[in-house]
Amino acid sequence: MTTNESAPDHSPDELAMDLAGNGWQPLPLRARTLFTLSASITSAVMTVCALVAIGLLLPDGALKIAAAIAALLAIPTFFVWLARKRYRYTRWRLDDEGFALRRGKFWSVETRIPGSRVQHLDLVRGPLERRFTLATLVIHTAGTRQHALSVGGLDADEAERLRDTLAARTDLDDDA
């Protein structure tokens, strides 16, 4: 697996212009694998909990076996399906006004952060994200309501460029 894809170097302003012309950007395909793997780990824990509950609460017999089989099939399937939907319906955009994140289809949420509201930026890379060359960009904003936005599954180089672009804009706003 080649995860070290080289991306062309862009200045913060060039990146903003490139992305503004392209509209909403999808997460890289590696993010789908990461989301699926994370969901699989979570579903394994939930399945074990469900099997323990079934073992303790249901009497021995066909009902217990049917419930255990249903839990073994339904819980992982649901979590993996949810992770794939999460990947498919997550898009981001950086334009002249700031950063935007769109998630979901049925319950669609679009969050917009004007550049003037950005306080500071963090890049978070857990062990699985590092393995897949991904990162989470955390944008901390002014105000108290939803004071931070986390965007997981970004390409690590892209996340660094986004951070640098938003930081440069913040510096420009502070100088004005």
Domain range holding 144? 12-21+91-175
Count of structural domains, the chain: 2
Write the CB contacts of 25 (distance below 8 Å, at least 6 apart in sequence). 19, 91, 92, 93
110 and 162 part of one domain: yes
pTM: 0.77
- 104 and 76 in one domain? no
d(CA 71, CA 142): 44
Same-domain pairing of 70 and 107: no
Count CA atoms within 13 Å of residue 66 on its CB side: 4
> Are 123 and 69 within one domain?
no
59-78 pLDDT tens trace: 999 999 999 999 999 999 99
Identify which has the larger pLDDT, 16 or 148.
148
Same domain for 95 and 61: no
pLDDT at 36: 97
77, 101: one domain: no
Q: Over 50: is that where the pLDDT of 29 sits?
A: yes
Q: Is residue 59 part of a domain?
A: yes
Same domain, 116 and 135: yes
Amino acid 20: pLDDT: 41
Predicted confidence (pLDDT) per residue in 132-143, tens digit: 999 999 999 987
Are 59 and 101 found together in one domain? no
CATH for 116: 2.30.29.30
Domain co-membership, 16 together with 98: yes
**Element at 17 (helix H, strand E):** helix 12-22
